[in-house]
């Protein structure tokens, strides 16, 4: 017992009494059965039938009283505070029950009735054995029951006289000593088991508390990063815009090389922020998908528009198949994140050949597939690449090749959306990544998105209204957009935006707005306010650091959603598209 933690006596007694009452129902059923059998066997003997019936009737009444007491115990929600009372009730009732059985042994034992003798002795010893198994958890109860059960029979045997009766009395005494010895061992085993169980429960409780504390700390960390993502992205967003603007103003090669290195460092920092903040949002549970139906073609067009220059720079072919009028059911932003990761990885790990974005039917759903002719992935690494910081062909941990977080994010997003990710790859021959989504054939063909163009810096015909409550972002966008030739109007609030429209008789060609503005105003509300004044819908970009924000969440399909930090090339692509539309309407 020294191996276990010491427990208060009241805890041990609570365990003992609860165990007694827990097993009592089976004892009561056994009592009813055994009394009936005793009456049946003794009815045809020389035992006085009236006495037998009185004994049986009183025993049944008393047993019903015990059943009533057990029901009271179970109904008592505070029995742990009255454990002394309930222990005394059970012990006293067990002793009285033993007296009833002992009375049977004394009153109904017939010295000359051999079958009756055998029945009574076997029944009494059987009850003693059963009582040991049942009551050994509380030794005083068992001792009282055993004494009341056996002593009357021993006395009756001794009174009967004769060697056989003396021998039987002696044997019963020996059995009583054996029962006493075994009851102590059973009691020891039961209490030791109880202590072991309590120790295990305490250990499990402690481990659970520590685990919950660790999980809460991790969730708190993730929630903090997720909540702080806007503030963390703001300076990086401004730095990205200013670095892009600076690169377009430098003409000296020496300085241009330095600026290119600054932009590379900013790009690496951007990738790190995006990956870590996205994983934090996914792990903290704050990111909830917005499942809706949407056309697949505009998503394919955006990916082609953004990634084709990257492929052409490496002299590989980037093919995007026409998916027709397919409508998929998913979260458009999160699904796009998965596909962009697949395409970006495919281009990064392909030196010769092609990368293809396509779709095909798969078991009643749609498989959106990215296929490349790159390095391929060894079979033993097919599962490992979806873990954090696992990268192939980057043993030197070159940050220019990424962080190894992209596929880990893909795995989390797919789990969140309930989409299956499939991988087929042969080392040296290429890879095929697929995401399986529900789909149907749409009725209308979506309007084409902005096509890929060879961009110039001549955007002199465009007037752009920029709304953002961060002065550094406004300054960075002003430098960048004016460098492209745009006429730029800056506003920190909706009120300032309205003032620009009134003072300059302005109808902007495009609006660029941050999603979260002062006083709880959203960029959508700001753009709607501008559109209400000019009288028609305007091409607009919403810039945000929140992955939850997407078209379909109350945001018009006419608005483009870009995520901080925004690459200048994506802004310029949008504005060039606006300029082309404007020219076509003139």
Predicted pLDDT of residue 400: 44
| 344 closest CA partner among 415, 416, 402 | 402
pLDDT value at position 557?
Answer: 65
Nearest residue to 330 (alpha-carbon basis) of 290, 370, 285: 290
pLDDT of residue 466: 93
Element (H, E) at 110: none
Task: Name the β-bridge partners of 317.
Answer: 354
pLDDT tens per residue across span 334-345: 888 889 889 988
Angstrom CA distances, 492 to 421, 467, 475, 496, stand at 43, 6, 11, 7
What are the Cα distances from residue 340, in Å, to 12, 93, 132, 239, 366? 63, 77, 73, 23, 17
Question: Is residue 395's pLDDT more than 70?
Answer: no
Residue 4, pLDDT score: 38
Compute the radius of gyration of the chain from its Cα atoms. 42
For 329-353, the DSSP string reads EE-HHHHHHHHHHHHHHHHHT-SSS
Tokens of 486: 């745009």
Q: Is the CATH number of domain 463-585 3.40.50.2300? A: yes
Mean pLDDT value across the chain: 80
Q: What is the pLDDT of residue 230?
A: 61
Task: Count Cβ atoms below 10 Å from residue 105 Cβ, excluding itself.
Answer: 23
Residue 274 — pLDDT band, cuts 50, 70, 90? low
Burial code of 15-28, b = ≥16 C-beta within 10 A, e = fewer? bbbbbbbeebeebe
For the record, the structure tokens of 357 come out as 């974005």
Nearest residue to 492 (alpha-carbon basis) of 463, 516, 524, 462: 516
In the chain, domain spans: 9-205, 290-441, 463-585
Q: Look up residue 494 and give its two tokens.
A: 């909706």
What top-level class would CATH report for the domain 290-441? alpha beta
Share of the chain above pLDDT 90, in %: 11
pLDDT of amino acid 369: 94
Tokens of 487: 């006429």
- Cα distance between residue 430 and residue 372, in whole Å: 5
| Lowest pLDDT segment from 138-142, 229-233, 286-290, 508-512 | 229-233
443 vs 452: CA distance, rounded Å? 26
Over range 180-188, report the average pLDDT.
85
Residue 566 pLDDT grade (very low, low, confident, very high; cuts 50, 70, 90)? confident
Instruction: State the average pLDDT over residues 327-337.
Output: 87
Average pLDDT score over residue span 426-451? 73
Which 3 state secondary structure label does DSSP give 25? helix
Question: Percent of the chain scored above 70 by pLDDT?
Answer: 81
Quote the pLDDT of residue 511. 92
Residue 191 has pLDDT above 90, yes or no: no
- Comparing 451 with 328, which gets the higher pLDDT? 328
For residue 355, is pLDDT > 90?
yes
Neighbour tally for 65: CB within 10 Å: 12
99-156, pLDDT tens digit by residue? Answer: 988 888 888 877 776 677 788 888 888 888 888 877 888 888 888 888 888 898 889 8
Tell me what the mean pLDDT of segment 456-465 comes to: 76
- The alpha-helical segments, DSSP class H, found in 248-371 are 253-284, 296-313, 332-348
Q: What angle do CA 439, 444, 449 make, to 5 degrees?
A: 90
pLDDT score recorded for residue 27:
83
Confidence (pLDDT) at 285: 61
DSSP category for residue 101: H
pLDDT for residue 433: 92
For strand 487-491 and strand 463-467, is the pairing parallel, antiparallel, or unpaired?
parallel
Closest by CA to 83, choosing from 12, 7, 14, 9, is: 14
**Residues 6 or more apart whose Cβ sits within 8 Å of residue 161:** none
Total residue count of the chain as it appears in this document: 586
Q: How many CA atoms lie within 13 A of 291 on its CB side?
A: 11
Q: What is the pLDDT of residues 523-535, one digit of tens each?
A: 888 999 998 988 8
CB 409, CB 337: distance < 8 Å: yes
């Amino acid at each position: 017992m020294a191996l276990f933690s010491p427990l208060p006596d009241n805890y041990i007694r609570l365990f003992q009494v609860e165990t007694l009452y827990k097993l009592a129902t089976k004892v009561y059923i056994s009592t009813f059965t055994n009394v009936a059998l005793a009456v049946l066997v003794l009815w045809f003997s020389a035992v006085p039938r009236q006495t037998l019936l009185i004994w049986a009737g009183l025993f049944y009444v008393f047993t019903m009283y015990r059943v009533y007491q057990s029901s009271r115990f179970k109904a008592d929600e505070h029995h742990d505070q009255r454990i002394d009372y309930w222990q005394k009730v059970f012990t006293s009732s067990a002793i009285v029950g033993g007296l009833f059985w002992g009375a049977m042994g004394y009153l109904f034992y017939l010295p000359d009735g051999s079958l009756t003798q055998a029945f009574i002795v076997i029944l009494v010893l059987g009850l003693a054995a059963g009582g040991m198994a049942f009551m050994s958890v509380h030794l005083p109860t068992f001792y009282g029951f055993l004494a009341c059960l056996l002593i009357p029979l021993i006395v009756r045997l001794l009174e009967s006289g004769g060697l056989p009766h003396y021998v039987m009395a002696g044997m019963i005494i020996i059995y009583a000593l054996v029962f006493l010895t075994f009851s102590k061992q059973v009691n020891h085993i039961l209490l030791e088991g109880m202590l072991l169980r309590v120790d295990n429960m305490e250990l499990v409780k402690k481990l659970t508390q520590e685990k919950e504390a660790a999980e809460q700390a991790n969730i708190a960390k993730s929630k903090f990063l997720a909540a702080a993502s806007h503030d963390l992205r703001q300076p990086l967003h401004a730095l990205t815009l200013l670095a892009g603007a600076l690169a377009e103003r430098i003409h000296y090669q020496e300085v241009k090389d330095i600026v290119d290195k600054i932009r590379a460092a900013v790009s690496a920092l951007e990738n790190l922020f995006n990956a870590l903040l996205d994983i934090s949002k996914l792990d903290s549970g704050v990111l909830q998908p917005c499942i809706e139906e949407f056309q697949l073609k505009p998503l394919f067009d955006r990916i082609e528009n953004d990634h084709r220059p990257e492929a052409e720079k490496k002299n590989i072919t980037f093919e995007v198949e026409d998916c027709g009028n397919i409508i998929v059911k998913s979260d458009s932003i999160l699904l796009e994140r998965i596909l962009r990761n697949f395409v970006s990885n495919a281009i990064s790990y392909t030196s010769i050949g092609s990368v293809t974005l396509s779709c095909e039917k798969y078991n009643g759903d749609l498989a959106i597939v990215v296929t490349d002719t790159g390095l391929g992935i060894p079979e033993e690494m097919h599962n490992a690449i979806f873990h954090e910081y696992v990268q192939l062909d980057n043993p030197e941990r070159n940050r220019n090749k990424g962080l190894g977080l992209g596929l880990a994010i893909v795995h989390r997003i797919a789990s969140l959306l309930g989409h299956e990710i499939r991988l087929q790859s042969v080392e040296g021959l290429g890879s095929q990544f697929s995401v399986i989504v529900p789909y149907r054939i749409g009725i209308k063909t979506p309007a084409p998105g902005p096509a890929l163009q060879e961009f110039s810096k001549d955007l002199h015909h465009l007037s752009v209204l920029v709304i953002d409550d961060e002065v550094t972002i406004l300054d960075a966008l002003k430098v960048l957009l004016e460098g492209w030739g745009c006429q730029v109007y800056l506003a920190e609030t909706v009120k300032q935006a309205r003032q620009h429209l009134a003072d300059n008789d302005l109808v902007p060609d495009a609006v660029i707005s941050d999603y979260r503005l002062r006083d709880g105003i959203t960029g959508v509300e700001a753009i709607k306010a501008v559109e209400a004044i000019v009288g028609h819908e305007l091409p607009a970009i919403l810039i945000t650091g929140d992955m939850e924000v997407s078209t379909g969440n109350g945001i018009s399909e006419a608005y483009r959603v870009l995520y901080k930090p925004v690459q200048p090339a994506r802004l310029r692509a949008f504005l060039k598209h606006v300029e082309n539309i404007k020219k076509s309407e003139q």
